[in-house]
Amino acid sequence: MGPSILVAQNLSKVVPSAEGDLTILHPLSLDLDQGDSLAIVGASGSGKSTLLGLLAGLDRPSDGSVVLAGHDLGPLDEDQRARVRAEHVGFVFQSFQLLDSLNALENVMLPLELDGRRDAREQARTLLERVGLGQRLSHTPRQLSGGEQQRVAIARAFAAHPAVLFADEPTGNLDSHTGERISDLLFELNKERGTTLVLVTHDERLAKRCRRLIRLDAGRLVAPLEP
Amino acid sequence: MTRLPFMRLCALALRQLLRDARASEVRVLFFALLVAVAASTAIGYFGARLNGAMQLRASEFLAADLVLQGSSAAQAAQIDAGTSRGLTHARVVEFTSVVAADAGIQLSSIKAIDPSYPLRGQLRSAATPYGSETPGGGPAPGEAWVEARLLAALGLSLGDSIDVGMKTLRMTRVLTYEPDRAGNFYSLTPRVLMNIADLDATGVIQPGSRVTYRDLWRGEPDILVQYRQAVEKDLAANQRLLDTRDGNRQIGGALGRAERYLNMASLVAVLLAGVAVALSASRYAARRLDASALLRCLGLSRYQALGLYSLQLAMLGLVAALAGALLGWLAQLGLFALLQGLLPSTVPPGGIAPALAGIGTGLVALAGFALPPLAALGRVPPLRVLRRDLLPVPPSSWLVYGAALFALGLIMWRLSLDLLLTFALLGGGMIAALLLGGLLLLGLRSLRRLLVGSPLPWRLGLGQLLRHPLAAAGQALAFGLILLAMALVALLRAELLDNWQAQLPKDAPNHFALNILPDEREPFAQRLREVNATSAPLYPVIPGRLTHINDQPVQQLVSKESTGDRAVQRDLSLTWAAELPQGNALSEGDWWQTPPPADGPPAVSVEAELAASLKLKLGDLLTFDIGGEHRQARVSSLRTVHWDSFQPNFYMIFQPGTLQGLPATYLTSFYLAPGHDTDVVALSRAFPAVTILQVDALLGQLRSILAQVTLAVEYVLLFVLAAGLAVLFAGLQATLDERIRQGALLRALGAGRALLVKARRIEFGLLGAASGLLAALGCELITWALYRYAFDLHWAPHPWLLVLPLLGAILVGGAGVFGTRRALNATPLSVLRET
């Protein structure tokens, strides 16, 4: 394992509601090394996605701090955080979230281009071949099955060589067989590329494949980080 | 669920609609209908009421709203028909008689009026000849108001007496202006105005005298219509009804064109309604594909599913249309409040018709344009609940769209009452849409190839357009239609105004000089040159009546109430000329090059409208009664005449050298700059027999009407612009959900705001430019047809239309970025939530 790549300290999230402030994430700290993998598990509404959003810099915490690849996200504005994400972060979503207006190749090129890479097309092609979609480059998302769409999404997530890959229920919309193959792919690439993996899932089997695991219940940490 | 009673279906539809009320596409559809109905209602009201106000203005030229005129007194029943309906009445009797004084006699045109004359406008008079005018009043019994030239002719002054028949009248004021005199410049004899109470005492009117009886009416437009209907069928052969359109040709022309313009603007509003509704209805249907499939799974039949959504749309449409009509009504109230100082104090209210037309427009547009997407809802396969990619069978909606277009055409026709205009707009629009849509589709497809190597923002922006080329082409067409409508309205406004202005240049003649005796001709022209007046040539005038066409009496040939009928009822001013007068253009035949034939009848050139009304052809033989002498002439050419040019104009122009020997006087018109009143007075004194008519007042009135029309036209343009923009935003709203999702995703992947803005600008800029290009092409196509067939204007290409693509790019681009700003500001976190 390398040096710390993702450090959160006393991270909490409070949202206003009709009945006064509602704490959806109680203060929590964690520290992930380069190449590590972490599963966040818990029931629906336990705060998993909130934590993922805060760690990835998609949202601001009410209190506490996140340092991602050496950048303290606290003082950064949305555009600056977007810059950090473009350079260091990849995403895989439960509903794939491919852009319908782009074909498979262009979807994978997207993060490379956002990062200003000149070899975007070549890199994207290599990655799509790696996930087994070398023959489907010019297909649009509508022309692909769910499993194929998620493979494009994974290729896209790894395209820019992210330091941290965030995956939100990556197998949630897939049948168990396809889900199995997708999670294999995810971990293979994780290992090949030395990416840090942060995974939110219901799936205990998928969670167990991660080196570390935290369990949330009503916004509180119930199973501590195992080193 | 085999049978679902209609009422339960209604209740279900209502419940679903209420639940759906918060859904954005329902709101957009509601908003689009609201805007469309409000715009067309407001324009409808504005047009109708303004038209009413302008009619009111124009009625001054008639001194009434409606006139019953005849050569015998109106029957008691004809008067009762008006007074019993509450119309205000005034009687006027006009005849020509000799006025006698100690110093001599003078043939005069006498007008006996009752105290309520005039019913519209005011008389103006002065206490001394050429003194300052005061409006209002009229001669009391025993008094006469006379034109200054009568005083000059008889060598009398105010306070002296004259005899009209057996009655002696004291001249108390100099008559300077009669509102209803304007329409008739060629009254050759001086006017004497007297009280109708003295009429019997004159003893002038005997059976067989040539007298014109005029019964003037004023009242509410609908009552006037009732009166017209009651009286019209029993009119005597010598009677006819005159309304504001007859009052004055100049005003009639300006009004007619203004009305056409306003109708055009409301047609544009109808088209906008269609675009708005089509945009939002198709999204409404698209978002209900899943729900429809689910309902089918739950056992609803195709027709029940279709019925359910149709009912929802109908309910939505009704509420939106009612609210829109109310809003439109309020908007025009505000508009008239803004225009208060510029319009007459009483603007007729406009009735309920514009509101009903607005509602009808909205509902028919909804039915027409929402039907095809709705029909797709009925065809959704239930299997779609399992496989979302299953789309309904592509609709063969030619028939449905055809029906929609037909319905729209009907509304447009109803609004404009003008088939030609409707066909020009509808047909031109459809041909343009098909042609340009096809071109655009081709263009978009070929753009796809260019896409491969382009930078990211271009690929994102273009990609958005190219994902569904058909939808993009449709959108470009829709925005194009809006731009086209706006450009068309702006273009026609400019050209109509230019046209009016060109007919009324700054130095349009403001004086007419009549009754110039042959031996005064040269000295008079000399004096005009001395005072720097810009003068038309002097034309001889010989009064003569057309009696026979090809040896058949004209009375048998003309239809009642036609231009021809009016022309043969009275003496025409006949003239001769070697050259075609300015402002005249030959429409058929040739102008004479050779002297008249020695053995046959000479040639005559006839004004084209009169010729059409009398069904005259080249070569027809006309017989005139000129002071008891019969003269014949053969039609050699037809001329179109600009009646509103204020130049001397003639129905009949003879070949030179053919009317010589008959007693003629001369007439001309001239322009004298303001401030030369003393020159006019001097001219009158030097030539006492010459009648000089000042038409400044008429010109001024005409100009002020034109100014009002201009203002109206500008406001209507603003309305159309506002409606167009609103519809544009409605269209953008329809794609917002998808954009928000995309924006959030791109931000999550690390895209900065700048990239998103750039991609949006490219997308909407391209869309706008394409729309602008379509609009420019379509606009040329339609104006060509409109000018040629509806407005009778000369068409030339409009190169400035090429700014439309730029304008479209800026307008649609700006509105697009602004309208989708929520998508730029979408928090990237939403990609995690929306699963």
pLDDT score of B112 more than 50: yes
| Residue recorded with tokens 């277009």 | B405
pLDDT at residue B711, as a whole number: 67
Q: How far apart are CA B672 and CA B533, in angstroms?
A: 5
| Residue recorded with tokens 């009391």 | B140
Q: Which residues of B touch A106 (CB under 8 A)?
A: 459, 463
Q: What mean pLDDT value characterizes chain B?
A: 78
- B762 part of contact set with chain A, CB < 8 Å: no
The alpha-carbon gap from A222 to the nearest alpha carbon of chain B, in Å, equals 23
CA distances from B431 to B7, B92, B526, B532, B610 (A): 43, 56, 60, 55, 37
Provide the total of helices (H) and of strands (E) in chain B, helices listed first.
25, 23
The reply to whether residue B750 touches residue A99, judged by beta carbons under 8 angstroms, is no
Supply B644's token pair.
């509103």
The alpha-carbon gap from A14 to the nearest alpha carbon of chain B, in Å, equals 15
* Mean pLDDT to the nearest integer, B1-8: 66
Q: How far apart are CA B689 and CA B420, in angstroms?
A: 50
Least confident of A128-132, B123-127, B388-392: B388-392
pLDDT at residue B185, as a whole number: 44
Q: How far apart are CA B46 and CA B712, in angstroms?
A: 8
Element (H, E) at B357: helix B353-378
Q: What percent of chain B has pLDDT over 90?
A: 10
The reply to whether residue A168 touches residue B463, judged by beta carbons under 8 angstroms, is no
Quick one: closest CA in B to A80, which residue?
B752
Q: How far apart are CA A10 and CA B601, in angstroms?
A: 115
* Mean pLDDT to the nearest integer, B549-570: 73
- B739 part of contact set with chain A, CB < 8 Å: no
Least confident of A180-194, B93-107, B275-289: B275-289
The residues spanned by each domain of chain B are 1-61+254-417, 62-251, 419-507+699-835, 511-694
pLDDT at residue A124, as a whole number: 92
Q: How confident is the model at residue B835 (pLDDT cuts 50, 70, 90)?
A: very low
Q: Which residues of A touch B466 (CB under 8 A)?
A: 101
The reply to whether residue A78 touches residue B456, judged by beta carbons under 8 angstroms, is no
Task: Tell me the Ramachandran region of residue B627: left when phi exceeds 0, alpha when psi lies from -120 to 50, beta otherwise.
Answer: left
The reply to whether residue A84 touches residue B750, judged by beta carbons under 8 angstroms, is yes
The reply to whether residue A114 touches residue B466, judged by beta carbons under 8 angstroms, is no
pLDDT at residue A118, as a whole number: 81
* Mean pLDDT to the nearest integer, B692-710: 66
Q: Which residues of B touch A140 (CB under 8 A)?
A: 467
Q: What pLDDT, in 10s, does the model give residues B465-510?
A: 776 676 677 777 777 877 777 777 777 767 666 666 666 666 777 7
* Mean pLDDT to the nearest integer, B560-567: 64
The reply to whether residue A78 touches residue B753, judged by beta carbons under 8 angstroms, is yes
Q: How confident is the model at residue B107 (pLDDT cuts 50, 70, 90)?
A: confident
* Mean pLDDT to the nearest integer, B55-69: 77
Supply B362's token pair.
């909205």
Supply A19's token pair.
């009945």
Q: What percent of chain B has pLDDT over 70?
A: 74
- B735 part of contact set with chain A, CB < 8 Å: no
| DSSP for B642-683, written as a single string | -GGG-S---SEEEPTTSSTTS--EEEEEEE--TT-HHHHHHH
| DSSP for B252-290, written as a single string | HHHHHHHHHHHHHHHHHHHHHHHHHHHHHHHHHHHTTHH
Range ranked top by mean pLDDT from B155-164, B188-197, B239-248: B155-164
Q: What pLDDT, in 10s, does the model give residues B378-427?
A: 666 665 555 555 555 544 456 556 666 666 676 666 555 567 766 776 77
pLDDT score of B703 more than 50: yes
Q: Which residues of B touch A115 (CB under 8 A)?
A: 750
Residue B7: CB partners within 8 Å, gap ≥ 6?
none
Quick one: closest CA in A to B464, which residue?
A101
CA distances from B647 to A12, B659, B670, B683 (A): 89, 22, 8, 20
- B835 part of contact set with chain A, CB < 8 Å: yes
pLDDT score of B49 more than 50: yes
Q: How far apart are CA B45 and CA B507, in angstroms?
A: 36
Number of neighbours of residue A93 by Cβ within 10 angstroms: 23
Q: How confident is the model at residue B258 (pLDDT cuts 50, 70, 90)?
A: low
pLDDT score of B212 more than 90: no
Q: How confident is the model at residue B604 (pLDDT cuts 50, 70, 90)?
A: very high
Disruptive mutation site among A60, A88, A97, A112 for chain B (greatest number of B CBs within 10 Å): A97
pLDDT at residue B260, as a whole number: 65
Q: Which residues of A touch B749 (CB under 8 A)?
A: 85-86, 91, 110-111, 114, 156
CA distances from B224 to A52, B91, B204, B230, B335 (A): 78, 17, 33, 10, 27
The reply to whether residue B832 touches residue A49, judged by beta carbons under 8 angstroms, is yes
Q: How far apart are CA B243 and CA A223, in angstroms?
A: 94
The alpha-carbon gap from A58 to the nearest alpha carbon of chain B, in Å, equals 5
* Mean pLDDT to the nearest integer, A176-196: 88
Whether residue B118 has a cis bond before it, omega within 30° of 0? yes
Of A52, A100, A110, the CB nearest to B749: A110
The reply to whether residue A114 touches residue B750, judged by beta carbons under 8 angstroms, is yes
For residues A30 and A8, the answer to whether their CB atoms sit within 8 Å is yes
One-letter amino acid identity for A181?
A: R
Q: How far apart are CA B139 and CA B146, in angstroms?
A: 10
Q: How far apart are CA B171 and CA B162, in angstroms?
A: 7
> Of the candidates B415, B124, B121, B350, which has an alpha carbon nearest to the alpha carbon of residue B244?
B121
Least confident of B200-204, B666-670, B678-682: B678-682
Quick one: closest CA in A to B742, which residue?
A99
A contact set with B (CB within 8 A): 49, 52-53, 56, 58-59, 78-79, 82-87, 89, 91, 93-95, 97, 99-102, 106, 110-111, 113-115, 140, 142, 156, 168-169, 172-173
Q: Which residues of A touch B752 (CB under 8 A)?
A: 79, 82-83
* Mean pLDDT to the nearest integer, B296-312: 78
- The more confidently predicted of residues A8 and B438 is A8
pLDDT score of B71 more than 90: no
The reply to whether residue A83 touches residue B755, judged by beta carbons under 8 angstroms, is no
pLDDT at residue B243, as a whole number: 77
Q: How many contacts does A have with B, using Cβ atoms within 8 A?
A: 86
Q: How confident is the model at residue A224 (pLDDT cuts 50, 70, 90)?
A: low
SS3 B166: coil
The reply to whether residue B467 touches residue A97, judged by beta carbons under 8 angstroms, is no
CATH 3.40.50.300 fits A4-223, yes or no: yes
Supply B243's token pair.
């309304």
pLDDT at residue B64, as a whole number: 85
pLDDT at residue B705, as a whole number: 62
User: What's this model's pTM, rounded to 2 decimal places?
Assistant: 0.57
Element (H, E) at A59: none
The alpha-carbon gap from A115 to the nearest alpha carbon of chain B, in Å, equals 8
Q: Which residues of B touch A114 (CB under 8 A)?
A: 456, 749-751, 755
pLDDT score of B373 more than 50: yes
pLDDT at residue B725, as a whole number: 67
Range ranked top by mean pLDDT from B30-44, B64-78, B352-366: B64-78
Compute the half-sphere exposure of residue A170: CA atoms within 13 Å on the CB side of its CA.
33
pLDDT at residue B2, as a whole number: 47
Q: Which residues of A touch B464 (CB under 8 A)?
A: 101
- B449 part of contact set with chain A, CB < 8 Å: no
Q: How far apart are CA A19 and CA B741, in angstroms?
A: 30
pLDDT at residue B88, as a whole number: 92
Quick one: closest CA in A to B830, which residue?
A58
The alpha-carbon gap from B753 to the nearest alpha carbon of chain A, in Å, equals 6
One-letter amino acid identity for A15?
A: V
The reply to whether residue A84 touches residue B748, judged by beta carbons under 8 angstroms, is no
The reply to whether residue B750 touches residue A172, judged by beta carbons under 8 angstroms, is no
pLDDT at residue B401, as a whole number: 61
For residues B187 and B57, the answer to whether their CB atoms sit within 8 Å is no
Number of neighbours of residue B442 by Cβ within 10 angstroms: 12
pLDDT at residue B144, as a whole number: 94
The residues spanned by each domain of chain A are 4-223
Q: How confident is the model at residue B1 (pLDDT cuts 50, 70, 90)?
A: very low
Quick one: closest CA in B to A145, which residue?
B389
The reply to whether residue A110 touches residue B827, judged by beta carbons under 8 angstroms, is no
Q: How confident is the model at residue B159 (pLDDT cuts 50, 70, 90)?
A: very high
For residues B674 and B532, the answer to whether their CB atoms sit within 8 Å is no
For residues B169 and B141, the answer to whether their CB atoms sit within 8 Å is no
Quick one: closest CA in A to B465, which residue?
A101
Q: How far apart are CA B259 and CA B712, in angstroms?
A: 11
* Mean pLDDT to the nearest integer, A47-64: 89
Could you give the strand order of the β-sheet that contains A4-17, starting from the edge strand earlier in sequence?
A: A20-33, A4-17, A63-68, A71-72
Q: How confident is the model at residue B629 (pLDDT cuts 50, 70, 90)?
A: confident
The alpha-carbon gap from B771 to the nearest alpha carbon of chain A, in Å, equals 21
Q: What pLDDT, in 10s, does the model give residues B231-250?
A: 888 888 778 888 765 545 55
Q: How far apart are CA B618 and CA B23, in angstroms?
A: 70
Range ranked top by mean pLDDT from B278-282, B430-434, B638-642: B638-642
